[in-house]
Structure 1
Amino acid sequence: MKKIIFMGTPAYATCILKALLENENFNMMALFTQPDKAVGRKQILTPSDTKAFLSHHSPNIPIFTPISLKDEMVVKQIRDLRPDFIVVAAYGKILPKAVLDIAPCINLHASLLPKYRGASPIQSAILNGDEKSGVCTMLMEEGLDTGAILESLECDIKDKNSSEVFEILANLAAKLIISTLLNFKNITPKKQDENLATQCKKIKKEDGMIALHNAREIYQKYLAFTPWPNIFLANGLKFLELELIDETKIFNQEGEILELEKESFLLACKQGILRIKKLQESGKKVLDGHTYLNGKRLKVGDNLY
């Protein structure tokens, strides 16, 4: 039975952690995850998704929430557990060489490396309109997502939002880690081609701001930034549900209301047309498109701005 230390934080990681716990070939020695964070307006101290799950389902497994993995005491804690593998999935911390040297460290990255190294591989693939993505197991080294690939699985992500793709890739990753760990001795690591490498940055709230220029680009942003940070106009108006109707038609006036429908409306961009189904003004209720326009006394030919 292989001894595993798991390092991960969000729901994506929980899906992988659950698969390892349920497999009789592995003995989970400990979870390392991010410290509890103050969440919401009331700033309630909230544990990570992995910590909440493990505390409820396997309370006897120790959980560590170190501020830094460079702390010598933390490195000693890891070394004393004598793991056969350290499995990492969206942990949110860089592993120093002292930890990497303890045991093979295997990262589950939510892209087909070397594409989309970094913090937002799923959102970046969607933003770029990729129809395929996937998940890799890779041997970790000191560089960010630069290690040799062990195994990978591919999937279709066309017209899927970030939340849907996260779920698909989490389930693929849960299967892949079992395969990689059980077959580790027989896998030949494949070095990444640096000529094909691309980087992606951490998503910020302001990335969700849009102007009504290009309907296709807005649609891809909508998919990528659902459920967070959503897409919104400069005045704070959020588009929570929309469809891409046309991506080629050119209009002189962006933001023109083209047609009212039962629960939505068609909106002109400088290039293309969107169907706006649900909106939300800052601090107000979510409304369907038709109800919103009625409340604002806007009609066909008026401008949403």
Structure 2
Amino acid sequence: MKVVFAGTPEFAAVALQAIHEAGFDVPLVLTQPDRPAGRGLHLQPSAVKQYALAHGMPVAQPLSLRMDAKDPQRALEAKQAHELLLATDYDAMVVAAYGLILPRSTLDIKPCINIHGSLLPRWRGAAPIHRAIEAGDAETGVTIMQMEEGLDTGPMLLIERTPIGPHDTTAVLHDRLAAMGAQMVVKVLRKMEHGIVEAVRQPEHGVTYAAKIAKEEAVLDFSQAAREIDRKIRAFNPFPGAHGSVNGTVVKLWGAELLGAGSEAPAGQILAADAQHGIVVACGTGALRLTELQKPGGKRLPAAEFIKGFPLEGLRFDTPA
């Protein structure tokens, strides 16, 4: 089979590598335009583009695939991309975290399959890994689905599960699901080659939507239960980074441990901040031991190192406005 690939970040690059190493011909790769990144805000190619160029794959980076886009430049680039797809000899398109909506005109050319990081129909949408951790789900997984115009509504071709551990962060789970999805999409492409793939409609019950993460969500409110705060810290690691403030100074929190015992102290009160006990904070229900923190302009540090340069004992995390 000849496979057109559409994707942008590292999650997608892992899948592209697996497809390439499995021996599939990739005559075209679609990815998002280069974006400013780093301290100098220099234009940086996506992880998918870097892999494609390193392996001699043609790359296109349209701003949009919608030929009815109101912006003339986007409409023109969409038309050019559509013509390029029509001129490309391929059997199927694989889409993984592309970042652009595929219109009906694209979906109608050849079969399009998507690698989605959740157990559909739970967590359709932009941020399924973050939301699964934040919600306290016991498990998640990857669904390979046939794409249609609805948001992650297409029939399922393959689904595999993995537990969400008590210390799993979005970063950890992302890498696990990326590896799973890469191997799964190769399995599905092999089945498609032999005409034995089976499509199963998604259940009508259990649908939830994983809204895109907004930076303001990462502000922690210690009046919530310790368990909920722990989930947020793990869900927002590495982006956007959960944080609170102490005396007006923003402190990012990258790791925590649940403590069984609660406290009558006000929520946000730092109960301990020393080498023996670590950094312990009272919550609305229960308490948390913070294990990795970061102050503005500083590095991520273990709690014992952090308090050497930022004494916290007796202080309190501010209440969000």
TM bucket normalised to smaller: over 0.9
Distance in 2 separating the partners of 1:87 and 1:75: 16
Q: How does 1:22-171 map to 2 (within 5 A)?
A: 22-24=21-23, 26-56=24-54, 58-59=55-56, 61-70=57-66, 71-159=78-166, 160-171=168-179
| Distance of 1:285 and 1:48 partners within structure 2 | 25
* Residue identity opposite 2:172 in structure 1: E
Q: Report deviation, 1:194.
A: 2.5
The reply to whether residue 179 of structure 1 matches residue 187 of structure 2 is yes
SS of the aligned residue for 1:91 comes to coil
Q: Deviation of residue 41 (structure 1)?
A: 3.2
Whether 1:194 and 2:212 are equivalent positions in the alignment is no
Structure 1 residue 295, shift from structure 2 partner: 4.3
Q: Is the 8 A contact 1:130 1:158 kept in 2?
A: no
- Unaligned 5+ segments in structure 2 are 67-77
Alpha-carbon distance in structure 2 between the residues aligned to 1:274 and 1:89: 36
Residue pair 1:251, 1:271 contacting (<8 A) in 2 also? no
Structure 1 window deviating more from structure 2 (227-236 vs 249-258): it is 249-258
Distance apart, 1:79 and its partner CA: 1.3
Please give the alpha-carbon distance, in whole angstroms, between the structure 2 residues aligned to 1:297 and 1:101: 61
How many angstroms apart in 2 are the aligned matches of 1:50 and 1:149? 24
The CA distance in 2 between the partners of 1:3 and 1:62, in whole Å, is 13
Structure 1 residue 253: deviation in Å? Answer: 0.8
> Does residue 18 of the first structure (1) align with residue 28 of the second (2)?
no
Which amino acid in structure 2 is aligned with residue 107 of structure 1?
A: N
Instruction: Give the distance between the partners of 2:311 and 2:177, measured in 1 at CA.
Output: 44
Q: TM-score, normalised by structure 1?
A: 0.92
Kindly indicate whether the alpha-carbon contact (under 8 Å) linking 1:252 and 1:270 is maintained by their aligned counterparts in 2.
no
2:256 pairs with 1:258: no
Deviation of 1:294 (Å): 5.1
Bigger Cα displacement from structure 2, 117-126 vs 289-298: 289-298
Deviation at 1:72, TM superposition (A): 2.0
Q: Aligned pair in 2 of structure 1 residues 288, 138: CA closer, same or farther (>3 Å)?
A: closer
Q: Secondary structure at the match of 1:254?
A: coil
* Higher deviation after alignment, 112-121 or 257-266: 257-266
Is this contact kept in 2: 1:208–1:230, CA < 8 A?
yes
| Residue identity in the other structure for 2:182 | A
Identity score, percent: 36
Distance 2:10 2:51 in 1: 9
> What TM-score do the two structures reach when normalised by structure 2?
0.88
In the TM superposition, what is the alpha-carbon distance from 1:296 to its structure 2 partner? 4.8
What residue is the counterpart of 2:286 in the other structure? 272
In 2, Cα distance between equivalents of 1:259 and 1:109: 42
Distance in 2 separating the partners of 1:27 and 1:62:
11
Distance in 2 separating the partners of 1:303 and 1:196: 40
Structure 1 residues 184-193 or 81-90, which shifts more? 184-193
| Distance verdict in 2 for CA 1:181–1:266, change over 3 Å | same
Post-superposition Cα deviations, 1:185-238, rounded to whole Å, max 9, x if no partner, equal 222211112322111111122111101122111110111111111111154211
Q: CA RMSD in A?
A: 1.8
Distance in 1 between the 2:315 and 2:32 partners? 49
Match of 2:69 in 1: none
**Are the aligned partners of 1:251 and 1:269 in contact in 2 as well (CA < 8 Å)?**
no
CA change 1:222–1:141 in 2 (3 A) is same
State how many pairs are aligned. 299
SS of corresponding position for 1:19: helix
Task: Tell me how far apart the structure 1 counterparts of residues 47 and 304 of structure 2 sit (CA, whole Å).
Answer: 37
Whether 1:4 and 2:22 are equivalent positions in the alignment is no
- Shift in Å, 1:266: 1.5
